[in-house]
Amino acid sequence: MSHIKNPVIRSLVQSPFLDLIGAALVLGVCISRSFHETIFFESKIQYGIPISELLQYMKQGAFPLGILSTIGAIFSMLATRFTGKQKNAGNIIGAITTISSGALDYMFGNASAIITYPLTFFVFTFAIKRWAGGEKIKKIDVFYFLILFGSFVLGMGLVYLGAYLFGGRTEGYFLLAVALSFGISLGANICNALKYEETWLSWIAYNLIQLLKNSITGNLANVAKYVFYLFNAVITQIDWKVNGDVSKQIA
């Protein structure tokens, strides 16, 4: 086994207990805030629906938005954790949860999700293929900066285009938060597929913006999720930067 420069950080990133803590945090916050009582019914979000009445509403066509958002948040968190551990399972789970996350984000008023989430799904499939081929953590180069700049411009453009074409929430602060977060996440996802060691710096910025965006939309499950994500992004950035590939631990 080769020398690990920071074994404490590596153990935190690889810890299954941190996975459980993250899942418990998301679930606990959602329950304490009664987010499981949120539904999408009659073309609008409705809060405070007692769990005992949920089935009755669903029979009338209600969508259990809060419960499914909570489940999706837990799996999305696990996808991020597995990616940080350099396991391709993280990319696979991420691709799957992108489908559900896009639908939920659309219901919360982000109409541009129609065109932004399919692009994210494609990037995840690209990552799955690259990692399956043995992609290794690499130093940043000129392409890293070109990817970040190009993705940021494209991502912001698609968000505003989506709002123009499909409507939804068009408040300036909301569109700006969505555009910034998607522009950053698109570049971060591509850099993740190519396994640049500075990838998680983008995720740190992304998670800060997501905290703002999800506070605006009232998606409490995601607020809790991104608090945990921010911590995870910081320790994972240190691990990728200082400790490098997990495969290097094995002689």
**Alpha-carbon radius of gyration of the chain:** 19
Beta bridge pairs of residue 244: none
Determine the average pLDDT of the residues in 83-91: 96
Spatial distance between the Cα atoms of 237 and 202, rounded to a whole number of angstroms: 10
Query: Which one has a higher pLDDT value, 163 or 118?
Result: 118
pTM of the model: 0.84
pLDDT above 80 (res 140): yes
Indicate the range of 187-196, 203-212, 231-240 predicted with least confidence.
203-212
Spatial distance between the Cα atoms of 29 and 10, rounded to a whole number of angstroms: 27
Compute the half-sphere exposure of residue 251: CA atoms within 13 Å on the CB side of its CA.
3
Beta bridge pairs of residue 41: 44
Q: Are 190 and 151 contacting, i.e. CB atoms less than 8 angstroms apart?
A: yes
Match 């997501």 to its residue by tokens: 210
For residue 229, give Cα distances in angstroms to 68, 73, 99. 19, 11, 20
2 backbone φψ class: left, alpha, beta (φ>0; ψ -120 to 50): beta
Indicate the pairing of strand 44-46 with strand 39-41: antiparallel
Spatial distance between the Cα atoms of 154 and 182, rounded to a whole number of angstroms: 9
Indicate the range of 6-10, 101-105, 166-170, 182-186 predicted with least confidence.
166-170
The SS3 call for residue 85 is coil
Return the closest-CA partner of residue 178 out of 147, 156, 199.
Answer: 156
Q: Are 151 and 183 contacting, i.e. CB atoms less than 8 angstroms apart?
A: yes
pLDDT above 70 (res 251): no
244 backbone φψ class: left, alpha, beta (φ>0; ψ -120 to 50): left
Q: Are 202 and 155 contacting, i.e. CB atoms less than 8 angstroms apart?
A: no
Indicate the range of 28-32, 43-47, 81-85 predicted with least confidence.
28-32
∠ Cα 31 74 202 (to 5°)? 120
pLDDT above 60 (res 249): no
- The per-residue pLDDT for 248 is 62
Spatial distance between the Cα atoms of 144 and 141, rounded to a whole number of angstroms: 5
The full DSSP string for 210-223 is HHHHHHHHT-HHHH
pLDDT above 90 (res 87): yes
The SS3 call for residue 44 is strand
Determine the average pLDDT of the residues in 219-228: 72
Determine the average pLDDT of the residues in 136-157: 94
Determine the average pLDDT of the residues in 193-202: 95
pLDDT above 60 (res 63): yes
Which pair of structure tokens corresponds to residue 63?
């969508």
Query: Which one has a higher pLDDT value, 22 or 228?
Result: 22
- The per-residue pLDDT for 220 is 67
